[in-house]
């Protein structure tokens, strides 16, 4: 891993994201760039309120840099101040840096700026050119990342998250919990889930990653995944941004959005890559 982008809004949630980034960076020797976005300033206030806001932000972020740089073993902690829409500017910086990972808190600021992180976390996931990890304020990240939950459904894209999940498991010597999700009684669909799970197990074995497999019936994949993550005391859930299309998705919104908004456990969201249907 080369570089990690951390979305900073000076809230406790974003500092949690920074702590998590440092933990990962110390395992991977990745550099970290903190990115703060001025989403408030308009053209009329460019030389008054806008300048004061950015100067204040610069002082805050320099203080954070000075405090947290010593926690990095072999990496550097830098920062960038940008102006515009939070989600697009975070994504643009990740593209420019060719970042491997973005980490963002799901709860925003209080006092310094309006709560932009909470409302933009899922948009960052949607626009990002790389995997995005979201972490909710209050999660106990001080304990070692030991259990990674990997939900598998009948969508062809569900397997694309497996290599990155394996990388994370190797970085932390973690155990992957494969969760096969049955969302229908149709035998053909259930067999597809079984086949995908067998393929994932084979990949784990070939890459010497520890794993445990379970299967669950699921009316709502988000609810079932979160429930199971709490049962096993998971430290991370790895998902694709799109999973099976179900009735729950229709009423509650996209799967990744449900996960980012509701999971008390950090969520690593990965965008699917288009592949030839024949290869599926």
Q: What is the pLDDT of residues 226-268, one digit of tens each?
A: 999 999 999 999 998 865 554 444 433 467 788 888 888 899 9
Query: What is the residue-wise DSSP string for 59-123?
Result: HHHHHHHHHHGGG-SS--EEEEEEES-HHHHHHHHHHHHT-SEEEEESS--SSSS-SHHHHHHHH
**Bridge pairing between strands 132-135 and 267-270:** antiparallel
* Same domain for 264 and 168: yes
* Residue 156 shares a structural domain with residue 106: no
The average confidence (pLDDT) of the chain is 85
Distance set, CA 211 to CA 25, 156, 206 (Å):
24, 21, 12
Residue 269 lies in a domain: yes
3-state percent breakdown (helix, strand, coil) of the chain, nearest 5? 45, 20, 30
Q: Name the residue range of residue 206's domain.
A: 147-279
Q: Let me know whether 247 and 128 are in one domain.
A: no
pLDDT for the residue 212: 98
Same structural domain for residues 245 and 171?
yes
Is residue 49 one of the residues assigned to a domain? yes
Structural domain contains residue 160:
yes
pTM attached to this predicted model: 0.86
Please check whether residues 161 and 272 belong to one and the same domain.
yes
Confidence of residue 115 (pLDDT cuts 50, 70, 90): very low
Asked whether residue 192 falls in the same domain as residue 213, the answer is yes
Residue 130 shares a structural domain with residue 157: no
- Same domain (yes/no): 52, 152: no
Same domain, 9 and 94: yes
In this structure, is residue 142 part of a structural domain? no
Residue position matching structure tokens 């086949």:
195
| Chain mean position to CA 211 | 21
The predicted structure's pLDDT at residue 16 = 86
262 and 206: one domain? yes
For residue 141, being part of any structural domain is answered with: no
d(CA 201, CA 97): 34
Sheet containing strand 101-105, strands side by side: 77-83, 31-38, 3-7, 101-105, 132-135, 267-270, 236-240, 147-152, 175-182, 211-217
Do 29 and 75 meet the contact criterion of CB atoms below 8 Å apart? yes
| Structural domain total, the chain | 2
Burial of 141: CB neighbours in 10 Å, binned 0-12, 13-18, 19+: middle
CATH label of the domain that carries residue 238: 3.40.50.620
Domain check: are 71 and 169 in the same one? no
Confidence of residue 139 (pLDDT cuts 50, 70, 90): low
């Amino acid at each position: 891993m080369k570089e990690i982008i951390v979305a900073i809004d000076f809230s406790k949630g974003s500092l949690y994201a920074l702590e998590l980034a440092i933990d990962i960076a110390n395992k991977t020797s990745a550099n970290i760039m903190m990115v703060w976005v001025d989403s408030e300033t308009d053209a009329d206030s460019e030389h008054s309120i806008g300048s004061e806001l950015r100067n204040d932000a610069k002082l805050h972020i320099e203080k954070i840099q000075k405090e947290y740089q010593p926690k990095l073993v072999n990496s550097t902690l830098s920062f960038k101040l940008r102006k515009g829409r939070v989600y697009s500017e975070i994504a643009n910086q990740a593209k420019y840096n060719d970042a491997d990972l973005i980490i963002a808190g799901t709860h925003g600021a209080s006092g310094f700026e309006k709560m932009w992180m909470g409302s933009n976390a899922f948009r960052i996931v949607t626009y990002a050119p790389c995997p995005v990890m979201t972490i909710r304020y209050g999660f106990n990240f001080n304990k070692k990342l030991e259990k990674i939950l990997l939900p598998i459904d009948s969508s062809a894209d569900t397997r694309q998250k497996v290599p990155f999940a394996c990388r994370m498991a190797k970085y932390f010597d973690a155990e992957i919990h494969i969760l096969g999700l049955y969302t229908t009684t149709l035998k053909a669909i259930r067999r597809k889930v079984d086949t995908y799970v067998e393929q994932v197990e084979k990949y784990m074995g070939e890459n010497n990653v520890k794993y445990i497999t379970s299967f669950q019936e699921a009316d709502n994949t988000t609810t079932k995944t979160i429930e199971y993550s709490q049962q096993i005391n998971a430290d991370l859930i790895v998902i694709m941004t799109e999973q099976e299309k179900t009735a729950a998705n229709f009423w509650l919104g996209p799967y990744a959005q449900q996960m980012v908004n509701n999971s008390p456990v950090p969520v690593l969201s990965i965008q699917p890559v288009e592949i030839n249907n024949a290869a599926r």
